[in-house]
Amino acid sequence: MRTPDLIVSHTNTDFDAFAGMVAVRKLYPEAHLCLGGAVNRNVREFQALYADLVPVVDPAAVERDSVRRLILVDTVHANRLGELADLCQQPGVEILAFDHHARGDDLPSYLSPERLVSADVGS
């Protein structure tokens, strides 16, 4: 599947992350949600029940060279993205992040501070 905009989160995706992904899709309606690893059981059951309302693409189906914008939710760390981690280092991919855990002084090199939306607001 060709998808220029991809919304991802950490492995063992919990409702905090999944709800954030759904909210970010309101800002980027053409983007696809992609779960790149294990998913919390409750999220998996919810997503199965509402798959027609909240579609999620399988990471194996994503044509990596088509991704132009990677939107990280609830993490800024590539090593938490499972099989999608390599996209953070892919040339030509703009990285954005929405993460209430992140601090602007401790960002990975692929993420510039002006591309991070963060606030210490709890979960």
pLDDT at residue number 76: 85
* Residue 122 is assigned to a structural domain of this protein: no
* Residue 94 is assigned to a structural domain of this protein: yes
* Residue 88 is assigned to a structural domain of this protein: yes
- DSSP class per residue in the chain: ---SEEEEE-SSB-HHHHHHHHHHHHHSTT-EEE--S-B-HHHHHHHHHTTTTS-EE-GGGS-GGG--EEEEES---GGGSGGGGGGGGSTT-EEEEE-SS--TTS--TTS-GGGEE------
Q: How many domains is the chain partitioned into structurally?
A: 1
pLDDT tens-digit series, residues 87-105: 989 999 998 888 877 565 6
The CATH code of the domain that includes 99 is 3.90.1640.10
pLDDT at residue number 27: 96
pLDDT at residue number 103: 62
Range of the domain at 63: 5-117
pLDDT at residue number 99: 83
* pTM for this model (two decimals): 0.86
Ranges of the chain whose pLDDT falls below 70: 102-123
